[in-house]
Amino acid sequence: MALTSLLRLQKVCKSYRLGKEEIPVLRDVDVEVERGAYLAIMGPSGSGKSTLLHILGCLDAPTSGSYWLNGRAVHEADAAELARIRNQSIGFVFQNFNLLPRLNLAQNVELPLIYAGIAGAERKRLVQAMMERLGIWERRKHKPHEVSGGQKQRAAIARALVKTPDFILADEPTGNLDSDTTREILKLFSALHAEGHSIILITHEAEVAHAAGSMRILRDGRLLGAVEGVVEGAVEK
């Protein structure tokens, strides 16, 4: 594995058992992601995006094949180790933000640091620095329902980044945002990428995928080669 490699999937297959039948969902997926990359994985509904996301996010294991993350053999990890890798290495960003409604934005951003056992003063410093970086420090005392969709997603991104994960894994991060706010969040991802963060974004929207530095298309569980420009028919609504 190259020194700069962040992660690598090799011949990853995933199938689900339906009665007596094995339904293949991912077929021989190969992908290598360099440190500092900004990769979009695009595919129509049913192509296997969520299944691939669960594997990349260490939420599920492949049926066969290997997954190396930072030189660690994720495919050999048990559930407890997967949870550890997930907490240490991956910052998740979701379509629905997944902020806790009773906590204010600062408390939401602070949560992973509490779980990580980081002391109070250091937590406050990290939360403020990250919220200032993402332009939401003024909104720190607001509850999620009191702020805009873009501000909610900024808070979720701050929460994902605050414990300096190896990469951000974003699942349809603009799926619930209007087009102006979508552009705002894509600009933010581009800025984070320029600062050296590694980002993997999963989407069915071509506009969103085009914002990334590179794009791969998932179709019928196969990851097609790197593409430039939209492939006709790759995306269905």
Q: Which residues bind ligand ADP (CB under 6 A)?
A: 16, 18, 23, 25, 43, 45-51
Q: Is the Cβ–Cβ distance between 91 and 169 less than 8 Å?
A: yes
- Residue 126 or 177: the one with the smaller Cβ distance to Mg ion is 177
Instruction: Write the DSSP symbol of residue 35.
Output: T
The binder of 148, among Mg ion, ligand ADP, none, by C-beta within 5 to 8 A per type, is: none
d(CA 163, CA 14): 30
The one-letter code for the residue type at 60 is D
- Residue 55 or 161: the one with the smaller Cβ distance to Mg ion is 55
- 73-106 b/e with 16+ CB inside 10 Å = b? ebbebeeeebeebbeebbbbbbbebebeeeebbb
Instruction: Write the DSSP symbol of residue 177.
Output: S
Min dist. Cβ of residue 23 to Mg ion (A) = 15
- Residue 171 or 184: the one with the smaller Cβ distance to Mg ion is 171
- Give the contact letters, 214-233, x = binds to Mg ion (CB under 5 A), - = no: --------------------
Rounded to 10 deg, the angle between the 120-133 and 105-115 helix axes is 130
The binder of 43, among Mg ion, ligand ADP, none, by C-beta within 5 to 8 A per type, is: ligand ADP
70-79 long-range contacts (CB < 8 A, ≥24 apart) are 70/6, 70/7, 70/166, 71/1
The binder of 51, among Mg ion, ligand ADP, none, by C-beta within 5 to 8 A per type, is: ligand ADP
* Structural tokens at position 194: 């320029």
Span of 44-52, 56-64, 114-122, 207-215 interacting with Mg ion by CB under 5 A: 44-52
The one-letter code for the residue type at 116 is A
Q: Is the Cβ–Cβ distance between 28 and 203 less than 8 Å?
A: no
Which residue's C-beta sits nearest to Mg ion?
A: 50
Size of the site for Mg ion (CB under 5 A): 2
Alpha helices, H only, the chain: 49-56, 79-89, 105-115, 120-133, 149-161, 179-194, 206-210
Min dist. Cβ of residue 53 to ligand ADP (A) = 7
- Residue 46 or 71: the one with the smaller Cβ distance to ligand ADP is 46
- Residue 21 or 232: the one with the smaller Cβ distance to ligand ADP is 21
Min dist. Cβ of residue 96 to Mg ion (A) = 13
Of 10, 50, 87, 190, the residue at the interface with Mg ion (CB under 5 A) is 50
Min dist. Cβ of residue 32 to ligand ADP (A) = 21
- Residue 36 or 175: the one with the smaller Cβ distance to Mg ion is 175
Min dist. Cβ of residue 19 to Mg ion (A) = 23
The one-letter code for the residue type at 36 is G
**Location of structure tokens 């993402």:** 134
